[in-house]
Amino acid sequence: MNKSPYYSLEVEEAFIGSLLLDGELIKECTIIPEQLYVQRLKTIFTFMVSLAKKGKPIDMVSVAEEAGNELFQLGGGSYLVAISGSVPSTANFHYYEETVKEYFRKRKTVEIAHRIKQEAEEGDIEIILRDGISHLQQVEDHGAVPDQGDIKNGLIDLYQECEKDLGDLGGIPSGFTMLDQLTGGFQESDLVVIGARPSVGKTAFALNLALQAAKDDVSIIFSLEMAKKQLLKRAVSQVGEVSSVKIRNPYRLFEEQDWNQLHKAMATLSELNLHIFDQGGMDVSFIHSNVRKLRRKYGEEKRILVLIDYLQLIQGDSRLRGNRVAEISEISRALKQMAKELNVVVIALSQLSRAVENRQDKRPMLSDLRDSGQIEQDSDLIAFLYRDDYYDQQSKEKDRIEIILAKQRNGPVGTVHLRFQKEFGRFEEWVG
């Protein structure tokens, strides 16, 4: 019996032996040949996969026929008989399968770690770490059999979804009736970009969305500009209607009512499925890794909204430094890929170019997205914030903010009006 920590001859033989006893198990198998360690077992399994693709049965006779002249090098027919005879029952097939995968993951992890160690001696440590983390993230799912583009399972999922009552919304609600009517809620696997000029209120608006989502679903905030404590102060101010001015120095400025509202707000926030990351120098790999961990924690039962504040502050590929457009394009593509792969809503806040200021009508347009047209291409929904009183202090439309849906891949565009209570950083339905 082998004692290697990186493979088990007995388990691999039991895996192959089970398939020899019951060839129909290949239809449930998610192993690929590369995940086996013992070369002759890997070769035998390759023949089995070939037989399955041809629609032929899998047993000792068919495998021997498929192997042809190579059978002798694999141990002959007697070896096939021996490994099939060593399997007590095919009932444990999936246990053998998962154990083979586990050993494979160990080998890949050691291989990647060794590569990182070698490259770290001379290479760019930033690139090495980013690539290493990316490869390690792939280890868990590495080698899964692709679906070959088959649509049957997709049709089954679609039918089952049709049988569910999704209520009025199919996606994560924003909390604003008119906005939800236009979008149907924020849809999983979508990349949503919210753009505005500085100080218009995009962080406050996005925080409103995240807090709403965290009530029944999960919100993950990656704050590249603001510390976690500052975001929590804003959250307390929104939820408890506590003055953002007073909360800067509660000890001196709070009255009894303020303390009561603070306690209620903190109790409410503590019950939310809310996670905030505020580490400096975050890149897409860091974001992807943490979203992946939380997706695993909550499973598919919970919908997840990921908020990034903001896109242009994400650390890009150092190999693209000096080419800001290419750097942002790569980040945008990676965020869309993450949304799709992990089935989450990604809301990325974005800066707008100063071109807005040079027009008579200051309402943002798609061409105002800063640094890259790729953002427009990757996004499923793009919304801009506009306040007339931001540009005209004498405006009659004080506290009114326009949410301009400039692009929606699967729905209409349009404008929604909300009331912005600046004192609390809180948004409400516009009535008037």
pLDDT, tens digit (0-9, with 9 covering 90-100), for 364-418: 888 888 666 788 888 999 999 998 888 877 777 788 999 999 999 988 999 999 9
Contacts of 334 (CB under 8 A, 6+ apart): 284, 288
Same domain, 100 and 199: no
Residues 336 and 239 occupy one common structural domain: yes
Same domain assignment for residues 39 and 89: yes
158 in a domain, yes or no?
A: no
User: Does residue 1 fall inside a structural domain?
Assistant: no
Same domain, 325 and 243: yes
Residue 245 lies in a domain: yes
Give residue for tokens 């909300």.
418
Residue 161 inside a domain? The answer is no
- Residue 292: which of 157, 141, 404 has the closest Cα? 141
- Asked if residue 357 and residue 244 are part of one domain, the reply reads yes
Least-confidence region, from 100-114, 137-151, 199-213, 357-371? 137-151
Amino acid at 105: R
CATH code of 96's domain: 1.10.860.10
| Whether the predicted pLDDT of 3 surpasses 70 | no
pLDDT for res 418: 93
- Please check whether residues 194 and 48 belong to one and the same domain: no
Of the three residues 139, 158, 177, the one that is the final residue of a domain is 139
Residue 384: per-residue pLDDT: 94
Which tokens sit at 422?
């600046």
Does 422 map to a domain?
yes
Tally: H helices and E strands in the chain: 16, 9
pLDDT of the residue at 426: 87
Residues 173 and 126 in one domain: no
In the block, tokens 């009530």 appear at 215
Long-range contacts of 370-373 (CB under 8 A, 24+ apart): 370/195, 370/312, 371/312, 371/324, 371/325, 371/328, 372/325, 372/328, 372/329, 372/332
Indicate which CATH number applies to the domain containing 177.
3.40.50.300
Query: Does residue 23 share a domain with residue 84?
Result: yes
Average pLDDT, the chain: 85
Q: Is residue 152 part of a domain?
A: no
Domain that holds residue 89: 9-139
Same domain assignment for residues 60 and 106: yes
Model pTM above 0.85 = no
Residues 19 and 103 in one domain: yes
Shared-domain flag, residues 231 and 380: yes
Mean pLDDT within 275-301: 87
Residue 4: inside a domain, yes or no?
Answer: no
Q: What is the pLDDT of residue 377?
A: 85
Cα separation, 133 vs 272, whole angstroms: 30
**Shared-domain flag, residues 103 and 243:** no
The least confident of 2-16, 151-165, 240-254, 270-284 is 151-165
Has residue 272 got a pLDDT over 80? yes
Number of domains in the chain: 2
